[in-house]
Amino acid sequence: MSESRKPRPSRDSGLIARVRAAARQEQFLEVVSAEEARVRFERHLDLTPLPAEAVALADARMRVLAHDVVAAVDAPPFDRSNVDGFAVRAADTVGASDGNPKVLTLNGEVIACGYAPVVAVVPGTCTAIATGGVIPRGADAVVMIEQTELIEDGSPRIELRRAAAPGQFVSYAGSDIARGETLLRRGTCIGAREIGMLAACGLDRIEVVRRPKVAVLSTGDELVEPGKPLKPAGVYDSNSAIIAAAVAEAGGEPLMFGACPDDTIILEKTVREALAASDMVVLSGGTSKGAGDLSHRVVSQLGKPGILVHGVALKPGKPLCLGVVGDKPIVVLPGFPTSAIFTFHAFVAPVIRARAGLPPEAAKTISARVPVRVASELGRKEFVLVSLVAGEEGVVAFPTGKGSGAVTSFSRADGFLEIDALASTLDADSAQVTLIGSTARPPDLVIMGSHDVALDVVVGELADRGFAARTLAVGSLGGVAAANRGECDIAPVHLIDPTSGQYNKHLVAPGLSLVPGWRRMQGILFRPGDARFEGRSAQEALKIALADASALMVNRNAGAGTRVLIDKLLNGVRPAGYANQPKSHNAVAAAIAQGRADWGLAIEPVAKLYGLGFLPVSPEHYDFLVVEKRRERPAVQAFLSALHDERVRARVCALGMEVTDD
Ligand code: AMP
Ligand code: MG
């Protein structure tokens, strides 16, 4: 919208102006491919390592070597004995045996560590030497003290019964590190081992690449600094923390500028400060082309060459904005955490690594089977985050599917797969998965199905016993399917058989068995003090709520066990709010706690967690389908034994569950 189209004054002109402004979405002028975006950006970047600086060896850990290190000394610096014994001339020992011992006269010195020998070992003599001692002139081998006898009468002598080969038990000068040898290459990230080598060469300072200073700045009126209480409609600023950590991992030095409100003047001032203080600026948020999105406007006013790319055909990450001011890169990442960190790794981390002197990160990929169909938007290269589990015939990749707004999608993913811009689905049954992070350890136990707060108690017990469990919350039905395909070890389920009214028993199929878990009381949640519910029975409260047009419910998604119960209770009635169908107990509780709804059904522990009132309706059975073929695995056995552990049971009960054995 142009500035000249001012809204006509009217009673609601203020409101209308604000609605217009909020809805104003300029089009992205030009959305380019990821490859094109990188080319345009890099054309204006200096990707050579920053100049070197000298640091003390003690401060060199995790720094990057600026130059090759050539050893200036030998290590060991002299020929050195490897054992306690006697330095000899090997020729004097030839033919020594039990039947023909050789006798050598002891020289008048003892070579301890740090002692420079003065007496030469001439034929027929030897010198006592300690481990680490300097081999004296004339000697060319060492015999171990255990293989000699000391003769104490007359002049001191030794008797030896074994011949020594030349060089026996001798480490020659320079055999460990040779003077002139290239010990370490530039670009090496210095760890304890490298520090040891540098110290062995006598270095106490070393030249490392200066770390690029990267200013990290979040934008958004809603952002709250972690550690402070969350205000209404606020969200914690997670991008600052994750991006700062990722900057450090890429070899940069993050400078935290915190979260800036959506205010052009404050933002511009802060960004200018950030530019002055750093080698590179990374903002997040405010890069869509909405009215509240100021970041790219501010960036466009800072100087040449300015914004190079705004809009990349990527999912997640379309609103990414890449610019350069003077010689400093300035990037605006999308606000959604997963989009932010994804685009950071794709476009920003390589620049930081290059300037930090680190080599490009080699992408590690594996091929995996994708058991579900993945739809994709045409025209945008799409990255789908996946969790990996071991299936019957190799690795299986499950899309984690929480969307780009989720922090955990990226943080918990093992990798991602790419869907071409020209494809509308991932057609191939098998796909290449690019792995994220290298520290991930394959899980000992895979649990797929419905999640429950008390499940964390059992998984925690497993962790104490040294087993790493991976829990994928795919819902009861998803768990049943995964168990039948042998893709998980255990599937937690709570599904009612509409015909028998029994829980879970109908899910048992060949190769699967059912292990009882616990019962969770389901009931009506409401805000304490609401007279329509407080102190009443569930039936009574339900009657009142259904008769009251202002009582707004919150439903559950189709397929949820709780939904089956809701529909049974409602018996065909569709009260206001029925169409609002979130996918978890927590979402139901949050909607009621925040006043977006007045009542809904969820389990009792969640009601407690949100400080809500609770009217019990009926217990739901939460049990475990066990894949028989995997039952004997140690982690599965540990899970089953943890279920019967008295301490575990007590903690499960403390969460409001009732543990059953049938
Ligand atoms: P924006 O790009 O500013 O339109 O933000 C898109 C979404 O990302 C909104 O839901 C924001 O609340 C969220 N968001 C933006 N910045 C951050 C941040 N630093 N930490 C967490 N969420 C954020
Ligand atoms: Mg914003």
pLDDT tens readout for residues 96-128: 998 999 999 999 999 999 999 999 999 999 999
- Determine the Cα–Cα distance for residues 238 and 343; give it in Å rounded to an integer: 15
- pTM of the complete model: 0.80
Region 475-480 average pLDDT: 89
Q: H/E element holding 88? A: strand 85-88
Determine the residue of 24, 221, 284, 296 to mutate for testing ligand 1's pocket, defined as the one with the most ligand atoms within 8 A of the Cβ atom: 284
> Which ligand is the nearest neighbour of the Cα of 285?
1
> Which ligand is the nearest neighbour of the Cα of 407?
1
Region 254-259 average pLDDT: 97
Residue 50 above 60 pLDDT?
yes
Which of 374-383, 490-499, 620-629 reaches the highest mean pLDDT?
620-629
Instruction: State the pLDDT at residue 81.
Output: 97
- Determine the Cα–Cα distance for residues 584 and 611; give it in Å rounded to an integer: 17
Residue 403 above 90 pLDDT?
no
Residue 2 above 60 pLDDT?
no
Instruction: State the pLDDT at residue 427.
Output: 67
- Determine the Cα–Cα distance for residues 579 and 600; give it in Å rounded to an integer: 12
Ligand 1 centre distance from Cα of residue 456 (Å): 29
Q: Strand, coil or helix: what is 34?
A: helix
- Determine the Cα–Cα distance for residues 278 and 217; give it in Å rounded to an integer: 12
Q: Whose CA is nearest to atom 5 of ligand 1?
A: 335
Distance of CA 403 to the CA centre of its chain: 17
The phi and psi torsions of 550 (rounded to 5 degrees) equal: -85, -5
Taking only the tens place, the pLDDT of each residue in 143-191 is 999 999 999 888 899 999 999 999 999 999 999 888 888 889 899 999 9
Residue owning tokens 């967690």: 609
Instruction: State the pLDDT at residue 289.
Output: 64
Q: Whose CA is nearest to atom 11 of ligand 1?
A: 335
Q: How many CA atoms lie within 13 A of 530 on its CB side?
A: 25
Contact 429, 446 (CB under 8 A): no
Residue 221 above 60 pLDDT?
yes
- pLDDT band for position 292 (50/70/90)? low
Ligand 2 centre distance from Cα of residue 239 (Å): 12
Contact 569, 496 (CB under 8 A): no
Instruction: State the pLDDT at residue 21.
Output: 67
- pLDDT band for position 468 (50/70/90)? confident
Instruction: State the pLDDT at residue 7.
Output: 46
Which has the higher per-residue pLDDT, 408 or 107? 107
> Which ligand is the nearest neighbour of the Cα of 259?
1
Contact 151, 158 (CB under 8 A): yes
Q: How far apart are the first and last CA of the chain?
A: 66
Region 322-337 average pLDDT: 95
Which residues are registered as beta bridge partners of 52?
Answer: 209
Q: How many CA atoms lie within 13 A of 211 on its CB side?
A: 18
Ligand 1 centre distance from Cα of residue 285 (Å): 5
Least confident span in 57-61, 245-249, 355-359, 389-393: 389-393
- Determine the Cα–Cα distance for residues 530 and 545; give it in Å rounded to an integer: 11
Q: Whose CA is nearest to atom 20 of ligand 1?
A: 237
Instruction: State the pLDDT at residue 290.
Output: 64
**Peptide linkage before 316 cis (omega within 30 of 0):** yes
What does the DSSP assignment read for 107-159?
EEEEE-TT----S---TTEEEEE-TTPBPPTT--EEEEGGGEEEE-SSS-EEE
Taking only the tens place, the pLDDT of each residue in 505-563 is 999 999 999 999 999 999 999 999 999 999 999 999 999 999 999 999 999 988 777 88
- In this structure, what token pair is assigned to residue 125? 């003599």
Region 349-355 average pLDDT: 96
- In this structure, what token pair is assigned to residue 585? 């107990």
Torsion angle of the four alpha carbons 257, 260, 266, 267, in this order, in degrees rounded to the nearest 10: 80
- Determine the Cα–Cα distance for residues 580 and 582; give it in Å rounded to an integer: 6
Lining residues, ligand 1, CB within 6 Å:
218, 220, 222-223, 235, 237-240, 284-288, 293, 334-337, 405
Residue 288 above 90 pLDDT?
no
Residue 378 above 80 pLDDT?
yes
Instruction: State the pLDDT at residue 333.
Output: 96
